[in-house]
Amino acid sequence: MSTDKILLSKGIKYLAIALPLIIAGPVLITIGFKALKAGNYSWLTIGCICAILGVALGFKGILIIVSSFFDSKE
């Protein structure tokens, strides 16, 4: 039972993309709530999209990494 290195690197790439999105999402949401006083919803929308996309990519990356460890290609 060996690790599929190609699938493992694909999962790590997904996690590397998800990390900045997970960090930037709450920051942009905070900026968006402060900008609501001026009636500007764009920062809040971008922040929510970044946060949701970061969590989704992180979940997909973890699933790919787990499948690279435990799936057998027999």
Domain assignment present for 71: no
Please state, rounded to an integer, the average pLDDT across all residues of the chain.
92
Range of the domain at 25: 5-66
The domain total for the chain is 1
Instruction: Give residue 3's pLDDT band: very low, low, confident or very high (50, 70, 90).
Output: confident
Percent of all residues in the chain with a pLDDT value above 70, rounded to a whole number: 95
State residue 51's pLDDT score: 97
Token pair listed for 67:
């499948």
Q: Is 43 helix (H, G, I), strand (E, B) or coil?
A: helix
Cα separation, 45 vs 52, whole angstroms: 11
Q: Is residue 73 part of a domain?
A: no
Phi-psi region of 12 (alpha: psi -120 to 50; beta: other; left: phi over 0): alpha
The answer as to whether 72 is a domain residue is no
What is the spatial distance between Cα 4 and Cα 67, in angstroms, rounded to a whole number?
A: 9
Say which amino acid occupies 33. F
Q: Residues 48-60: pLDDT tens digits?
A: 999 999 999 999 9
